[in-house]
């Protein structure tokens, strides 16, 4: 499978989807001008990955900030992951960032995927 490796910018998160090395991460800030357009290749990749996934998939979210439009697409990403066996989520947040912790907790209630919450 092709690796998706997008460097983060002020408005878009760093995205690394690497099946071969088992690295699946979205990190940084997510407020792209067109969230749907930005996240579509990621959703397509996850759909393709779901046809032949690794036995275990640990997907890491390490977001500092995301806007409302991004939250809908993060939920779409989680919903796509929900259909894949062996997926777990590591949700990272700054120790003092209650908003990001709560956002992770809300997402965890909306999908049937085990979440682990970690501070950094």
Output the six-digit token pair for 29: 């800030």
Q: How far apart are CA 108 and CA 32, in angstroms?
A: 23
Average pLDDT, consecutive stretches of 10 residues, N- to C-terminus, the chain (120 residues): 97 98 98 97 98 98 98 98 97 97 98 97
What is the value of pTM for the model shown?
0.96
pLDDT given for residue 112 in this prediction: 98
pLDDT given for residue 93 in this prediction: 98
pLDDT given for residue 40 in this prediction: 98
Q: How far apart are CA 99 and CA 55, in angstroms?
A: 32
Output the six-digit token pair for 97: 């960032």
pLDDT given for residue 22 in this prediction: 98
pLDDT given for residue 31 in this prediction: 97
pLDDT given for residue 6 in this prediction: 98
- The four Cα atoms 41, 46, 49, 54 give a dihedral, to 10 degrees, of 140
């Amino acid at each position: 499978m092709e690796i998706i490796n997008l460097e983060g910018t002020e408005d878009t998160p760093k995205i690394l989807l690497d099946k071969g090395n088992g690295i699946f991460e979205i990190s940084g800030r997510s407020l792209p001008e067109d969230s749907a357009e930005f996240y579509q290749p990621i959703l397509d990749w996850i759909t393709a990955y779901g046809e032949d996934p690794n036995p275990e998939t640990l997907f890491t979210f390490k977001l500092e900030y995301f806007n409302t439009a991004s939250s809908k697409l993060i939920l779409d990403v989680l919903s796509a992951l929900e259909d894949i066996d062996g997926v777990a989520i590591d949700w990272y947040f700054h120790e003092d960032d209650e908003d990001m912790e709560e956002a992770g907790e809300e997402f965890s209630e909306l999908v049937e995927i085990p979440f682990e919450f970690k501070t950094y």
